[in-house]
Amino acid sequence: MRTQVAIIGAGPAGLLLAHLLYQHGIDCVVLEARSREYVENRVRAGVLEHQSVDILNAAGVGARMMKEGLLHHGIHLNFGGESHRIDFEALTGRAVMIYGQQEVVKDLIAARLAARQPLIFEADSVSVHDFESDSPQVRYSIDGQARTLECDFIAGCDGFHGICRSSIPAAQLNVFERVYPFAWLGILAEMPPAAEELIYANDDRGFALLSMRSPTVSRLYLQCHPDEDPAKWSDDQIWGELRTRLHVEVPGGPVLQKSVTPMRSFVAEPMRFGRLFLAGDAAHIVPPTGAKGMNLAIADVQVLARGLQAFYREGSEEDLSAYSATCLSRVWKVQRFSWWMTSLLHRFDDETPFDHRRQLAELEYLVTSRAAAQSLAENYVGLPLAH
């Protein structure tokens, strides 16, 4: 089989790229190792920057998001027993949308299937070859039958643990990484949100976050040790700890899911190797404190789609040549913000009393200085995309 662009991974990055290419008449095949049921139900990020919302709407896949998503005009920072609101609307004129990543994936899969475009789930033994030549190949198998997909370009949108980045010679990669000494114990609960907007809490017992996925489903997090066993936390313990750290009356409800999320910052440079392009989590990971993972993936594929459109429309490789540098400029700004939010709100095992007092002083400055609050708001609602 032959196509113009082979896309590895059916997460938000791969599916959105496929949709953007389809709208410009560029053929592509999407290969996904997991089942459709799995990718449509894995719970991930839920905050969309205003520009991500605009991109999804412009692509014609935002109707359900606009109907069911929750528009948020600010967040709350709770510390020292008090709550302080950061007003995005007043500071930036922008807002964010609460809409789960799995819902974005469902919308994009529906659009792909409605267009009758190739989307192959449960592809086994996927491997990429000859991507430093003009004739890349992707090999895979379906039901035990080996197949080869010839293409012009390969888009590696297969996540942090995918095969695309690991197929690049290690000597050609510059890897930057920071692993944090804590994780998040996250729960999905059948409970109306206990607040209208997200609450980020810095407490002596550790960080906590009150978030939501819909008017009837809440997503909540507690700072914990990386090796924490979620099964050892009873529902009553979790609800009690959330109330203590958030300083909010959280009514509780049936817990649908418990999981532990490790915290790391990771960047692989460059994001292009010959005709293999990395996008989304395949190229970078941010700690979830800044709510940027899915937004970075959307920004990456917008740049990549534009470059591929110019190549097939005009024969120009200028945008493709600039892909890595263009994306990394934004990636590192977002890494800085996510690191800053994480450092501001979590307790560190090795922190001194000086460290903690400095942290509280920074929080107090943040909520009393318009300039500081505006900086947070600008980054949270989304820095400008590359043009």
Q: Are 254 and 226 in contact (CB under 8 A)?
A: no
Greatest alpha-carbon pair distance for the chain in Å reads 63
Tokens (6 digits) for 279: 């996008």
Residue 38 included in any domain: yes
Confirm whether 106 is domain-assigned.
yes
The predicted-structure confidence for 245-290, as pLDDT tens digits, reads as follows 999 999 999 999 999 999 999 999 999 999 999 999 999 999 999 9
Q: Structure pTM?
A: 0.95
User: What CATH number does residue 156 fall under?
Assistant: 3.50.50.60
Q: Which residues are catalytic?
A: 72, 200, 288, 292, 380
Find the domain containing 113 and state its range: 5-72+96-176+264-348
- First and final C-alpha spacing in the chain: 34
Question: 79-116 pLDDT, tens per residue?
Answer: 999 999 999 999 999 999 999 999 999 999 999 999 99
Q: What's the one-letter identity of residue 312?
A: Y
User: Phi and psi (nearest 5°) for 327?
Assistant: -70, -45
Q: What CA–CA distances, in Å, run from 187 to 230, 252, 285, 291, 345?
A: 9, 11, 21, 16, 19
Q: What is the pLDDT of residue 387?
A: 59
In a domain, 255, yes or no: no
Residue 121 falls within a domain, yes or no? yes
Q: Are 218 and 242 in contact (CB under 8 A)?
A: no
For residue 154, being part of any structural domain is answered with: yes
The answer to whether position 286 is within a domain reads yes
* Interacting residues of 243 by C-beta distance below 8 A, sequence separation 6+: 249, 250
Mark the ranges of the chain whose per-residue pLDDT is less than 70: 386-387
User: What's the structural domain count of the chain?
Assistant: 1
374 lies in some domain: no
Is there a domain that residue 203 lies in?
A: no
3-state secondary structure of 178: strand
